[in-house]
Amino acid sequence: MFSKCLKAVLALCLVAGLASCDSKVGEEPPPPESQEFGGTQCLTEAKPVAKAFVVGDAQKEELEAAWDCIGSAVEKFKRYVRGNTADRYTAQELATFLEKNFLDPKDNVVISQQLQTEFMKLKQVFVGGSREYLTRSELDKTIALVKSLRTITVNLNPYMKVISLNWEVSESPNMQSDVRHFEEANKELQNAARMLASLIEQNAQGYNLSDFVVLMREMGQFFGEKWEFPSVIQTYMPVIKKVKKALAGGDENSITPNEWRRFTLLGARGYVQFLRYHYFIKSVPETGTGYRLGYLARTVEDVLSVFQDLVAEKPEGVVSRDEVFDLLKTLEIVWPEFKVSSGLVFEGMKVKQLFFGGSVDSLTTTDFETARLKVSRIKTLIERFMPFYSIYGREWDPDMYDADEAQKLFMESQFVLEATVREAGVLFEGSYDLNDLNNIVREIEILYPPKEGRGLADQVKSYLPLVIDAKNMVLGGNDSSLRKSNWSVLLGFAARAYSDFLYYQYFLMGESLQQPMNLSYFSVFGNQTLNILRDLLLVKKENQFTRVELNKIVKHLIRLELVPGAINEQSADKLLSVVLNNMLVAPEARLSGHKPDALTLTSVEVGRQEMQIWIDTELMFAQMAEGWKPEEGLTAKDLLAVLKKTEKNLDAHALPLQAALTELILSVESPVPMTTDYRGFVIISNKFEQLYTFKSLRDLNRNRAVARLLIRSFANDLNRINTFQGATLPEVEGAFNELKSIFVEMGLLDPKNTSFASSRFREANIFVPHSDGNALASQAEITDLIGMIWSGVGINSRLRTELVKKCFGRDEEVTDNSLVTLSCARAAYKDAMPAIMSATPEYIKFMKKASADDWAYYMNNVFMAAGYIPNDKNLAKMGDIALTPHVIQYVEMVFARFDKNKDNIISTSEAIKAYPAFKGLLKELAADQLKSGVLKEKDLLDVFTFILRYGKPPTTLMEQARFMFKWKGKQDKWDVWADRVQLAQILGYIADQVNKSASAKIVQEPASQDALEKAASQL
């Protein structure tokens, strides 16, 4: 568009020249031949020169000759031509002269009255005088003007390709010379603007911007060309007017005599910035990124300098907020889709104040100077992280590098990003109220309503309280303002958090943590995250986040539904208390009475230690299992040997792995391997050699880590903790009471269930491979129990799905309180168990071989042991039978551990070996009888074997007589045999008795001696 506009302006100069070189107006013209040689021939030759000049192809000699011709023609016009009035010429006389002597009659071209008028307005600007006529004295000024234009154009000629957008930037090696050439063009263009301004200022004439639109339209019609730029100029003219008024002052439509210099310089300098963008930012090859950035910075700096200079010369010396609004409002005319409001401008000025300082009411020269001075610093910062742009832009592919090189490059990018944004934070000039963020988003959405769904303003409003409280927790204060001193700190942590996210995206997202390399990456990621948390604590004066502060954050998370809906504020507070005062406190400190009730630097390091123990163990197992197929693994014996060898050869500094190895060895030294199948279900059988597959090893590490955490968090004896002896029942119940409300709120526990902890404690002491029946739940026992619970929960989830399909309607809502008939539950389980419970193959064989009555009796007792309370309708709550898989696993574990001859029967010798595991339970159930002397502790083995033989304790007179005279103390005559049905009966009986009375008796008060003897005689 500019080249066409320039061509039109030059055509105006030719019009002035042509008007001065032929016959006298009002007189008979001399012979055409002589006059043609005197003027028109050289002017005819000047037309192609003018066109060549516009596109940058004119030769200096041709250009000088053309201007000499025009100057000579003007002199001849003055000498020979006379108008109707002796010393002046009207616009119509000039037009008639041109039409008759220089326009081809065949074209029938007429210089319109409107074009004459617009030309005379322009003539007035350059040579002064009236708009109605051209005087002879003004011809002298025209001659001087031609000389000045000659100088301007000759000086511009070497750079016209640059100015007319016909230039191309060379490749990088030659770009330095191109830059110098461009800057020379910039200098010459501004010199031309100053010279033109000086020429115009001499005449002290103004000009209306709207007249230029008319002039361009008329010129297009005169040349018979369909120029687009007049309509474009007309479209943008309202914006040009507003810019002129805002930056130069005065009437928006009028350029007054004293404004010409500012206006022409604004145009020249503004056009140079456009050229700079076109050549060095938009069009520069990708290899020239450094030049692109440099010229972008230079362009911004120059634009700000232009604005600064213009505002400085503006009478008011400022651009008011209202003027900014008027200017932006005008853009709605040009771009109907663009919307602006006074409120949005006000919020934008707050952002301006943040970056440039000053007032929210105006833009001053100081604001522009502040911004300009920051450009070079910003450029330096950008140059610093440009080499890592693809990483920050999430376009990087680490697979293009080897692993070590990719890690090194990314770590370097992390350092650069943090250092850069921290330095950028220094550039902020003041504070910013976070609530204003909501205001600016709201203003935007009022102007640009969201098409559908929830708008961003609502989301910002919802999240702002969380952001403000988090800001106050970390940076201090009790308000919503981010102060100048906060920006570097805030941006530094934001950069680190973003880098952490990028690290996860590039090295971990979608990757399996079963690969050693990925585990090492996860270790880096976890430690970097904890380092951020640690350094956030260091920023705070107290170096801690109190539970009160953290609760504020948690409440926001609950309100925003960013945590499970079942957790309420009360349970969340309880969980925070447990985490802060138990789990993240070293046992030594906790047992000494230390209760921080806050997240401290020590808390972070305790968390780091436990995380590293888990990761290092995972890494050890991953390296051990490299190349294994899913079904491959190590026997317990081989695994134990590997663990002991690793422990022996371990570096003294590898403390995390040392701790894990000790705990793992305790778990693997087991009478029954705790292996799992591909679903994570515990494999329970003593009839084939089991392998610790990679899946089994990872499950073992998980169980070990949870057991370790629980014991270290709640056991109250440091020696028991350090020697892995574990926790007592009161300690387990204490831990449960701390966490019970959380489990209840999450729907994992019936609020009426008060025996959960004691039941799990008993199970750990009876039904897991390491059970020893004592008063402690050891590290190994709890590890086993967690594995079996995890397995049982997974099995029940699948069984429940099948049960719901079989026993409930398709659309029926099923909860833990929903009732199901025992018969339907048994049928559903029998259909589903062969596939789901394949990890307990001996049980599946039993189920398939057992008679319908035996299996029904077995399952009913298992249901009772799980929690079902018998009733006349034979209906059970879904929640009451949820532990069915757990009970079956416990029964199977008894057989796997104690059925040494593998005949699916617990014999006398096997029962005697099993007794220590059950002794603790028997002592608990017989506590009153032992206290009263009805039973002695040495009698408990007799009771245990009797129960195994007959399925229940001696309660009737005949049973008591049999126990006293046929069983008690007669170990050589015992004939114990207990199959799965019998064992289930015993568990069901015990559960039934416990349900009936908290102090259930396993042996009733004995009848009289006479009654017993009489009954014995009948045996």
> Which range scores top for mean pLDDT: 172-181, 366-375, 994-1003?
366-375
pLDDT reading at 976 higher than 70 = yes
Residues 157 and 58 sit within 8 Å (Cβ to Cβ): yes
- The CB density around residue 816, as the number of other CB atoms within 10 Å, is 14
Tokens 């530094």 correspond to what residue? Answer: 492
Helix (H) or strand (E) holding 208: strand 207-208
pLDDT reading at 931 higher than 90 = no
Exposure b/e, 455-489, CB count within 10 A at least 16 = b? bebeebeeebbbebbbbebbbeeeebebeeebbbb
What does the pLDDT average to over 377-389? Answer: 86
What does the pLDDT average to over 717-734? Answer: 95
pLDDT reading at 401 higher than 90 = yes
- The CB density around residue 538, as the number of other CB atoms within 10 Å, is 10
Amino acid at 703: N
- The CB density around residue 569, as the number of other CB atoms within 10 Å, is 12
Confidence of residue 38 (pLDDT cuts 50, 70, 90): very low
* Rounded Cα distance, 518 and 619, in Å: 9
Q: Name the token pair of 753.
A: 């269930």
- The CB density around residue 286, as the number of other CB atoms within 10 Å, is 6
795 in helix, strand or coil? helix
The CA-based diameter of the chain, rounded to the nearest angstrom, is 168
Residues 600 and 756 sit within 8 Å (Cβ to Cβ): no
**Phi, psi (degrees; rounded to nearest 5) at 968:** -60, 125
Residue 80 has what pLDDT? 73
Tokens 């997974």 correspond to what residue? Answer: 794
Residue 676 has what pLDDT? 98
Report pLDDT digits (tens) over 681-713: 999 999 999 999 999 999 999 999 999 999 999
Residues 50 and 89 sit within 8 Å (Cβ to Cβ): no
**Phi, psi (degrees; rounded to nearest 5) at 661:** -60, -40
What does the pLDDT average to over 244-270? Answer: 78
Residue 406 has what pLDDT? 96
Residue 414 has what pLDDT? 96
pTM assigned to the model: 0.79
* Range in 221-235, 382-396, 808-822 with the lowest mean pLDDT: 221-235
Q: Which residue has the higher pLDDT, 980 or 332?
A: 980
* Rounded Cα distance, 35 and 21, in Å: 8
Per-domain boundaries in the chain? 1-138, 899-1019
Residue 529 has what pLDDT? 97
Whole-angstrom CA distances from 753 to 740, 744, 788, 999 are 9, 9, 20, 17
DSSP state of 513: T
Share of the chain above pLDDT 90, in %: 52
By CB atoms closer than 10 A (0-12, 13-18, 19+), residue 780 is buried
HEC letters along 252-311 = CCEECHHHHHHHHHHHHHHHHHHHHHHHHHHCCCHHHHHHHHHHHHHHHHHHHHHHHHHH
Residue 990 has what pLDDT? 80
What one-character-per-residue DSSP string does 725-769 give? --EEHHHHHHHHHHHHHHHHHTTSS-TT---HHHHHHHHHHHSST
Exposure b/e, 688-717, CB count within 10 A at least 16 = b? eebbbbbbbbbbbbbbbbbbbebbbbbbeb
Report pLDDT digits (tens) over 555-592: 999 999 888 777 888 888 999 999 999 999 999 999 99
Query: Which among 493, 495, 491, 522 has a CA at the least distance from the CA of 506?
Result: 522
pLDDT reading at 56 higher than 90 = no
Q: How far is CA 297 from its chain centroid? A: 30
Residue 519 has what pLDDT? 96
Confidence of residue 285 (pLDDT cuts 50, 70, 90): low
| Start-to-end C-alpha separation, the chain | 121
Count of residues making up the chain: 1019
Confidence of residue 425 (pLDDT cuts 50, 70, 90): very high
Residue 20 has what pLDDT? 39
The angle formed by the CA atoms of residues 26, 31 and 34, to the nearest 5 degrees, is: 115
pLDDT reading at 527 higher than 80 = yes
* Rounded Cα distance, 229 and 232, in Å: 5
Residues 151 and 144 sit within 8 Å (Cβ to Cβ): no
Helix (H) or strand (E) holding 440: helix 435-447
- Indicate the Cα dihedral angle 461, 464, 465, 466, nearest 10°: 130
Exposure b/e, 330-351, CB count within 10 A at least 16 = b? bbeeeeeeebbeebbbbbbbbe
pLDDT reading at 5 higher than 60 = no
pLDDT reading at 32 higher than 60 = no
Residue 12 has what pLDDT? 47
Handedness of CA 269, 270, 271, 277 (dihedral sign): positive
pLDDT reading at 981 higher than 80 = yes
What crossing angle do the helices spanning 342-356 and 365-385 adopt, rounded to 10°? 70
529 in helix, strand or coil? helix
pLDDT reading at 18 higher than 70 = no
pLDDT reading at 630 higher than 90 = yes
pLDDT mean across residues, the chain? 86
pLDDT reading at 6 higher than 80 = no
What does the pLDDT average to over 408-423? Answer: 95
Q: Which residues contact 990 (CB under 8 A, 6 or more apart)?
A: 865, 921, 925, 1000
**Phi, psi (degrees; rounded to nearest 5) at 952:** -165, 160
What does the pLDDT average to over 20-35? Answer: 41
* Rounded Cα distance, 301 and 293, in Å: 12
Confidence of residue 26 (pLDDT cuts 50, 70, 90): very low
Whole-angstrom CA distances from 937 to 696, 807, 856, 926, 944 are 40, 47, 35, 9, 11
**Phi, psi (degrees; rounded to nearest 5) at 516:** -55, -45
Q: Which residue has the higher pLDDT, 997 or 49?
A: 49
Residue 105 has what pLDDT? 66
Residue 15 has what pLDDT? 46
Q: How are the residues of the chain apportioned to helix, strand and coil, as percentages rounded to the nearest 5?
A: 70, 5, 25
Amino acid at 478: N
pLDDT reading at 800 higher than 50 = yes
Confidence of residue 30 (pLDDT cuts 50, 70, 90): very low
Residues 43 and 21 sit within 8 Å (Cβ to Cβ): yes
Q: Which residues contact 137 (CB under 8 A, 6 or more apart)?
A: 87
- The CB density around residue 279, as the number of other CB atoms within 10 Å, is 20
Residue 845 has what pLDDT? 97
pLDDT reading at 736 higher than 80 = yes
Residue 1013 has what pLDDT? 64
> Which range scores top for mean pLDDT: 217-231, 247-261, 639-653?
639-653
Residues 881 and 868 sit within 8 Å (Cβ to Cβ): yes
